[in-house]
Amino acid sequence: MFESLPGFRDFYPEDYEVRQALFQRWKNAVESAGFVGYDGPVLESLDLYIEKSGEEIVEQLFHFVDKGGRRVALRPEMTPTLGRMAGSKANGMRKPVKWYNIGDHFRFERPQKGRTRCFTQLNVDILGEAGVAADAESIHTLILVFRAFGLTGEDFYIRLSDRELWSFAMDAWGVAVDQRGHVLSAIDKMERMDRDALVSWLSEHVGELAGVIYDDAKVLAGIHDLDGLIAWGHALDLSPEQRNALDARMAEWRTLIGALKDLGCSDYVVIDPGIVRGLAYYTGFVFEAFEKRRKSRALAGGGRYDNLVGKLGGPDLHAVGWAMGDVTMLDCLEFCGKTPHEAVRPKLFMVFGDSERPVCFADVDALRGSGCRVLYSYRANAGFGKQLKEASQCGCSHALIYGSDELADGEVTVKDLGSGSARRVKRGELAAFIAALDLKGS
Amino acid sequence: MFESLPGFRDFYPEDYEVRQALFQRWKNAVESAGFVGYDGPVLESLDLYIEKSGEEIVEQLFHFVDKGGRRVALRPEMTPTLGRMAGSKANGMRKPVKWYNIGDHFRFERPQKGRTRCFTQLNVDILGEAGVAADAESIHTLILVFRAFGLTGEDFYIRLSDRELWSFAMDAWGVAVDQRGHVLSAIDKMERMDRDALVSWLSEHVGELAGVIYDDAKVLAGIHDLDGLIAWGHALDLSPEQRNALDARMAEWRTLIGALKDLGCSDYVVIDPGIVRGLAYYTGFVFEAFEKRRKSRALAGGGRYDNLVGKLGGPDLHAVGWAMGDVTMLDCLEFCGKTPHEAVRPKLFMVFGDSERPVCFADVDALRGSGCRVLYSYRANAGFGKQLKEASQCGCSHALIYGSDELADGEVTVKDLGSGSARRVKRGELAAFIAALDLKGS
């Protein structure tokens, strides 16, 4: 018997239903914030990813040469497709562009808990807005998504940082531009590696500066309030121009924190410069969402990436956005007892004898056409008892019984399979009667 | 600037919205008939497709060797994944299994009108039921899908045929088992090739029989009513056992046509033995849906395939189902003036001055949290006139104006941007007021 490939998932109906409920809440939440959906191909030119992330990305990709001789890859993330699509039409579009996508992504990695070779992401991006109003809206939307599942500040929090602060720090330390990626990598590793190992690794790139950088970085990473950040900035050794730029950045910090407060986000957002995000293309505020009650992978991550669209060959286009994966999110929701389900709707089972079939099937057709879910037995000659048993086995909420007595009065018996109660309903009023059923109350 | 690969589509928001509306109606229609969703990976083992369709399928596939040395392919159709998934759990599942999938599929073909290298299909299948009740339900569900878009018997029809009838005909003609695929191919080509060319092609496989087969096949393909089919069957030269089997098959035809009539399908279904379906795995009734008012590709096609799950290594499992593609369906809907759109919902734009921002943003948060779509300007200091202009440019239906006068009374002004009418609403009643808005009536 064939099996699915390692790291790829089959979704049988119970799992499919949960995922659809997840997608539906994602959609409703981000649309409430004015985002509109878009989509692009899961297969793209390999060069699109190399241009964005460098040759090393190829190691993680499902890539091949197609029958037309093109180097192609299954998309590992959405941002390059977004940049390509928005970039090619940027000049004609009203700004800000607020787009979301729910789509599959592929990485050739070792399958493990929380990591599959194919996963679905919600990507939410704002393009064409330089001001922090966009950063605030991006973070607010992320919080709306968590809240859409009933999660609260007890369940999750968002760590907010700023690549620019680290740039000022590197200015003050005197780190050369071509070494800054290594320093950011070291900061990214501070939570997982001890001082000796990290200073030793970093000294290969920045020499004797490594120790100072580590200790200073540890101080900045430990600041969790705006006043502390401002005081930290005052103490930096900067040129007058750098000083002016830092003052302007601190004003933006103040604006962002104020907007987040007004948008009801204060309970969820923690200032935390220790977050730098692994990806090279972030340029400003960055953030990651985590569970609060246990250690886990980031539930979502994002930030500002103002240079990417231009790098992909498009016009300069400011951008801020984030992504959330289905695997980690569903795991979090299960842990919190908030696994989503689609709304419970009536599910009807038609019970009838052979001679009532024409009347019954006419109602099957009409009720299905009006949106009701209607099942019936394929065993034409089964007794009513057997049909009622099948109704229960199918998980139906109600049976509609087409007995000859009822039909003589133009009625059918509607039996609630949960409570066992039954009542007669005129055939012409069935659709309205079913639409009015409150399943929780029935 | 990068572009999408040939034959792959980008969906900008306007196109995305139409596709989502298509998917939503697909989902609602098939769920009304009691089908539940499932999904599998877009990447599968290449052998899964070779096992089902033979080595020649490889020509049409996007396939490659992954980093783990596996021969893999992007799925060209859903049925092998369905067979794999259902087959591996068949023994534990209640029959009939009624599953649907809406998913992407990939074929390396020359891109042309109605044919892309990546397309989305609705697949709807019933597994584990041998009787014609399943064939009837499958066809009824297909008709429900068309009707969900407002299409009528003036717009589409379904051609219903039967592989078994052709088997009886081949029995009578004395066609050897290993030549039957060629004869079916010839029948499939009758509508597009003239007699001489087709007889010449067929005679390479069946010799002098080719002329008789062509002429007899033309007669059968021209029969469009049940009585005609029965009369055709009576005239066949069959053994007594074959005669009994044909009589039983004609009884099944009568049952199917009767069920379809009771289910309100008579206006849409035409008996048409000229349809045989290209794929090798069909075993019984087969059908294809077409536009009525112009020549076009089939809008959907399917039938019974009782041997496939067993062939893929699973248990024997009766099966009937069909698939519908998004490209041809959207083209048909556009031609019929029935392009679907998502329901029109209010879209609000918040208009406020700097000092009212905290109050306004609190409402942004609350209204979004209750599911309303809410936008606002990122230009904090823009005048009310400019903000109202942006509201219109964003396609908002209403502006909520947070003037200091209104707020002194705990109210905001709700302005209908279509009619220009305005009224004041208590802040605490905004969500209810917006939920009650009837956009068509406003």
Q: Is residue B68 part of a domain?
A: yes
Nearest Cα of chain A lies from the Cα of B413 at a distance, in angstroms, of 20
**pLDDT digits over B89-129, tens only?**
988 999 999 999 999 999 999 988 878 999 999 999 999 99
Nearest Cα of chain A lies from the Cα of B394 at a distance, in angstroms, of 8
B2 lies in the same domain as B143 = yes
Q: Is residue B278 part of a domain?
A: no
Cβ distance B64 to A67 less than 8 Å, yes or no, reads no
Please tell me if residue A346 touches chain B, with a CB cutoff of 8 Å: no
**pLDDT digits over A339-379, tens only?**
999 888 899 999 999 999 999 999 999 999 999 999 999 99
Q: Which of A15, A7, A6, A33 is nearest to A322 (CA)?
A: A33
User: pLDDT exceeding 90 applies to what percent of chain A?
Assistant: 87
pLDDT greater than 70 at residue A440:
no
Its domain, for residue B128, covers 1-155+292-344
Last residue within a domain, chosen from A270, A301, A317: A270
Highest mean pLDDT among A54-68, A307-321, B353-367: B353-367
Q: Which residues of B are less than 8 Å from A89 in CB distance?
A: 12
Please tell me if residue A43 touches chain B, with a CB cutoff of 8 Å: yes
Please tell me if residue A32 touches chain B, with a CB cutoff of 8 Å: yes
Cβ distance B33 to A314 less than 8 Å, yes or no, reads no
Number of domains in chain A: 3
Tokens read off for A50 = 């190399």
pLDDT at residue A279, rounded to an integer: 67
H helix intervals, A6-152: 13-32, 46-53, 79-89, 132-148
A151 lies in the same domain as A163 = no
Last residue within a domain, chosen from A213, A239, A270: A270
pLDDT greater than 50 at residue A442:
no
What band does B438 get if pLDDT is binned at 50, 70 and 90?
A: low
What band does B439 get if pLDDT is binned at 50, 70 and 90?
A: low
B239 lies in the same domain as B316 = no
**pLDDT digits over B265-301, tens only?**
999 999 999 998 876 789 999 999 999 999 888 999 9
A214 lies in the same domain as A166 = yes
pLDDT at residue B440, rounded to an integer: 53
Please tell me if residue B252 touches chain A, with a CB cutoff of 8 Å: no
Four-residue CA torsion sign, A428, A432, A433, A434:
positive
pLDDT greater than 90 at residue B442:
no
pLDDT greater than 90 at residue B52:
no
Q: How far apart are CA A251 and CA A237, in angstroms?
A: 19
Please tell me if residue A368 touches chain B, with a CB cutoff of 8 Å: yes
Please tell me if residue B375 touches chain A, with a CB cutoff of 8 Å: yes
Mapped onto helix, strand or coil, the DSSP state of residue B63 is: strand
Q: How far apart are CA B153 and CA A140, in angstroms?
A: 49
Please tell me if residue A134 touches chain B, with a CB cutoff of 8 Å: yes
- Residue B101's CB is within 10 A of a number of other CB atoms, namely 22
Cβ distance B43 to A393 less than 8 Å, yes or no, reads no
Nearest Cα of chain B lies from the Cα of A374 at a distance, in angstroms, of 6
Calculate the alpha carbon distances from A427 to A380, A402, A424, A432, B221 in Å. 21, 10, 9, 10, 41
Domain with residue B372: its CATH number is 3.40.50.800
HSE-CB for B358 with a 13 A CA cutoff: 4
Please tell me if residue A44 touches chain B, with a CB cutoff of 8 Å: yes
The interface predicted TM-score of the complex, written ipTM, equals: 0.95
Calculate the alpha carbon distances from B211 to B170, B175, B198, B323 in Å. 14, 13, 9, 34
Q: Is residue B275 part of a domain?
A: no
Q: How far apart are CA B380 and CA A212, in angstroms?
A: 41
pLDDT greater than 50 at residue B441:
no
In degrees and rounded to multiples of 5, residue A43 shows phi and psi of -110, 125
Residue A82 in contact with residue A97, Cβ under 8 Å? no
B431 lies in the same domain as B299 = no
Please tell me if residue A5 touches chain B, with a CB cutoff of 8 Å: yes
Which residues, in sequence order, are CB contacts of A194 under 8 Å at separation 6+?
Answer: none
Q: How far apart are CA A274 and CA A217, in angstroms?
A: 8
A173 lies in the same domain as A149 = no
DSSP secondary-structure letter at B57? Answer: G
Mapped onto helix, strand or coil, the DSSP state of residue B40 is: coil
What band does A220 get if pLDDT is binned at 50, 70 and 90?
A: very high
In degrees and rounded to multiples of 5, residue B7 shows phi and psi of 85, 0
The pTM score is 0.95
> Using omega within 30 degrees of 0 as the cis cutoff, is the peptide bond preceding A96 cis?
yes
B326 lies in the same domain as B195 = no
Cβ distance B2 to A104 less than 8 Å, yes or no, reads no
Please tell me if residue A107 touches chain B, with a CB cutoff of 8 Å: no
What band does A103 get if pLDDT is binned at 50, 70 and 90?
A: very high
Residue B289 in contact with residue B301, Cβ under 8 Å? yes
pLDDT at residue B241, rounded to an integer: 95
Residue B18 in contact with residue B339, Cβ under 8 Å? yes
User: Residue B129's closest chain A neighbor by CA?
Assistant: A378
Parallel, antiparallel or unpaired: strands A97-106 and A36-37: parallel
Please tell me if residue B280 touches chain A, with a CB cutoff of 8 Å: no
Q: Which residues of B are less than 8 Å from A313 in CB distance?
A: 1-2
B316 lies in the same domain as B195 = no
Q: Which residues of B are less than 8 Å from A394 in CB distance?
A: 34, 94
Mapped onto helix, strand or coil, the DSSP state of residue B87 is: helix
Among B11, B263, B347, select the one facing A38 at the smallest CB separation: B11
What band does B344 get if pLDDT is binned at 50, 70 and 90?
A: confident
User: Using CB atoms and an 8 Å cut-off, which of residues 66-85 of chain A contact chain B?
Assistant: 66-68, 70, 72, 74, 80, 84-85
Mean of all residue pLDDT scores within chain B: 94
**pLDDT digits over A78-94, tens only?**
999 999 999 999 889 99
Which residues, in sequence order, are CB contacts of A239 under 8 Å at separation 6+?
Answer: A171
User: Residue B265's closest chain A neighbor by CA?
Assistant: A365
Four-residue CA torsion sign, A378, A379, A382, A386:
negative
Cβ distance B94 to A64 less than 8 Å, yes or no, reads no
**pLDDT digits over A264-295, tens only?**
999 999 999 999 887 678 999 999 999 999 99
In degrees and rounded to multiples of 5, residue A2 shows phi and psi of -70, 155
Q: How far apart are CA A238 and CA A250, in angstroms?
A: 15
Cβ distance A118 to B42 less than 8 Å, yes or no, reads yes
Nearest Cα of chain A lies from the Cα of B231 at a distance, in angstroms, of 27
pLDDT greater than 90 at residue A319:
yes
A106 lies in the same domain as A163 = no
Please tell me if residue B372 touches chain A, with a CB cutoff of 8 Å: yes
Domain with residue B296: its CATH number is 3.30.930.10
User: Residue A314's closest chain B neighbor by CA?
Assistant: B1
Q: Is residue B287 part of a domain?
A: no
Please tell me if residue A139 touches chain B, with a CB cutoff of 8 Å: no
Please tell me if residue B224 touches chain A, with a CB cutoff of 8 Å: no
Q: Is residue B282 part of a domain?
A: no
User: pLDDT exceeding 70 applies to what percent of chain A?
Assistant: 99
A94 lies in the same domain as A240 = no
Mapped onto helix, strand or coil, the DSSP state of residue B160 is: strand
A340 lies in the same domain as A368 = no
Cβ distance B262 to A28 less than 8 Å, yes or no, reads no
Please tell me if residue A95 touches chain B, with a CB cutoff of 8 Å: no
Q: Is residue B213 part of a domain?
A: yes
pLDDT at residue B290, rounded to an integer: 97
A329 lies in the same domain as A354 = no
